[in-house]
Structure 1
Amino acid sequence: MSVRNMKSVFMPEDDKYLDANEYLDHCDDDDFFKFRRRIEESRKSNPIALCDVCYQAVVLRGTTDRTKYFAHPKNSEDCPIKVTSQFTVDELLAMQFNGKKESRAHREHKNLIAGIIRKDTLFEDEVAIEPTYREKHSFGVAKRWRRPDISAVYKAGNQNVVFELQISTTFLDVIIKREDFYRENDTYIVWVFLDFDPEKFTSLDISYANRANAFEFDDVAKDKSLKEGRLFLTCHYRVPHQNDDLTIGYKWDSVLADFSELNFDHLSKKIYAVDTEAILANVKQDIADEKKNRAEMARLKKIQDEEVQEKIRLIIEDERERQRKEQELRLSRLRDTNRTSNTSAFDKQSTRNSYANRRSSSISSSFASASGVSKSFGDTRLCTNCGVRETPRKIRSALFCKNCTYAFDQ
């Protein structure tokens, strides 16, 4: 059965309702764990997330398979959507943590780390294991106390530092209360994992609140510490990077460092190795610059493409104009050639006709002279006898065919 009984959450700061499934299915880890912390920090004084049925403050939880869900806190008032059972998931996790807090592995590593710190020249000689760490205030009266696993003083700046070993799941509200207590008492807190798992909520609750840094005392750190006689820790950090599509990607990386290489955050009273927030700011700036560069390149390419298209258009127009002129020239030459041919043919035909006319005239003259008749006059006629059309020869008042001397009817 799904653990998501709460389908919607009311956000009083924004005066709107948040779709639980939509948010939890699409939020990334950074957003989720920061929101989870904000809800827990403000839950008792000024809650920022309320059940949309009973309007009580809610919390963000997760199952062992990392299913995220909104839930009512333990011991909250009754609500129609609450699921009642003998033990809640959080109660089971609490029993598991309480059983491991004083386990053999926890005690052995606590004593080992304390012994290494005592040899480390970066720390004062006095190192306490599970001391009662009393609250400081103006009246010098202790009303609260915490028992850290290890307490020491870092020589540089005379800084009080406590080490809390993490070997199992711890409630987020417990983590927040411890961090608040030490910050208020001007003491730096270092959460040390003996088995860091970036898939566990406790690991991420602690790391995301510390610039995505988490310290682990693994075999590599242990061997280096024992060999060098000073404390080394493996720092796991979630480093942002730029993807090819100009989105931000993340991956976990690690570095081995001693305390001289670590950074102290004076406001949060936490210690970190890698400033992932600064890296993220640089990545965002790089992405912004790259987007700007790509936009400019796209603009220039568009201009270049338009210029190329214009050049191509002009070349095509010039070629068409050249072809048009060539075609006109060919047609002009063809007309001139035809005109010359026609004139020559006409001249030849005229010459032949002139010669024929002269010959015919000569014959007619001779015939007329011999016959004593005058020149022929009149229009041409078709001779029905020989089929030749010619101007008939006129002898006195009679008309004859020049070809066969056939006498035409008058």
Structure 2
Amino acid sequence: MAYPMVGIVGRPNVGKSTLFNKITGQRISIVEDKPGVTRDRIYYETEWLGRKFILVDTGGLEPDSEDEFFSKIRMQVEAALKTVDLILFVIDAKDGLSPVDEDIANMLRKSHKKVILVLNKVDSFKEMPISYYDSMRLGFGEPIAISASNGLGIGELLDEVIKNIPEHIDDYDEETIKICFIGKPNVGKSSLVNKILGEERAIVSDIPGTTRDALDTYFEKDNKKYVIIDTAGMRKKGRIEDKIERYSVLRALSAIDRSDICILVIDATEGPTEQDTKIAGYAFEQNKAIIIAVNKWDLIEKDNNTVNEYLKLIKEKFSFMSFASTIFISAKTGQRLNKLFEEINSVWEEYNKRISTGLLNNVISEALLINPPPAEKGRLLKIYYVTQFGIKPPSFAVFVNDPEIMHFSYVRFLENTIRDNFGFQGVPLKIEVRKKSEM
């Protein structure tokens, strides 16, 4: 990990997600008075007094529960404990110490990690509740009293956090590839992430909408650094009925904003839908590199024309992003997952590609001779030169005599010329038309 990790654990409804949101200043974890709402690990990079660390929120833990979600939440917490450097064990000051808290304490002691005991929901620091003294028998020392909802005691807690975490190991660099899996619910995004990672990092269930939050998973593969963001499946707005799912959709869109490459996962048995085009449309509007992954390909009966027919259908549905590459996979069998990573690496190279101004203008000059700019409003458009001014996405400035007479169709012609000569498969191109005086 680039920075030390701090995990927040505790039984349901003690205020873990509220504390997470207060520290990060973001509404990332779902805050809802419903046990088991935070169903997966949440990661977020934050800092205090110049010290950066990764804060990890976990599902509410109930060790003896036979419920499907609670038993899997325990697995999530155990997985999180393997990676964190420091644990914030949150207890409810109003409820006092419970047998569940004691069971959690036993689990934490076995982790051999540093634990800071946090007593949440303390209304006043003038007189501490009985639970303050009672919690000391857990063996983690004197608790730090806070009120996460009111922000009381948070500074003292964070002071203690930075005293007990190591210096950051290594800053995330520009070579880290941020991947976002997007798509409708139940198309296999979480199963795909789990297959890639080789462990049950995201909860997989047959119940629709299981992945409520965006999950960040950092790992290295073949000497490359990756961050995989698995998002909650996005339904149509009209079908989003409860508050929790509304928050999830907002976070899914936020996850797209944070990513470099968006992998749109489509259910091969359903085919691309209108909702798929809307989800992809948002990623396209944010200038993200895009790969279309057609999942559950193992369930499709095939003949010699199946792939071509499917590609034709995808081209029709996603005509606005014809640059996107398509790969047919199966998260269940692992079919072509190695090809998916090859495509990710290839698209990443394209997303960061730079073309020299000299080479670029040689190509554009030849194109202008073959297809000169048409007159617009009685005026002749003059294109002086083109230069690349950015990457992620590759961004180009076209300097002309009058931007107002540059027709969008000719901008498309210039874009196609650049693609035909330099590739940029899988990535959008940003083209700005500027007046020559703006040089």
**TM-score, normalised on structure 1?**
0.24
Query: Which structure dedicates a bigger proportion of its chain to helix?
Result: 1
Structure whose CA Rg is larger: 1
Higher relative contact order (CA 8 A, sep 6+): 2
**TM-score, normalised on structure 2?**
0.23
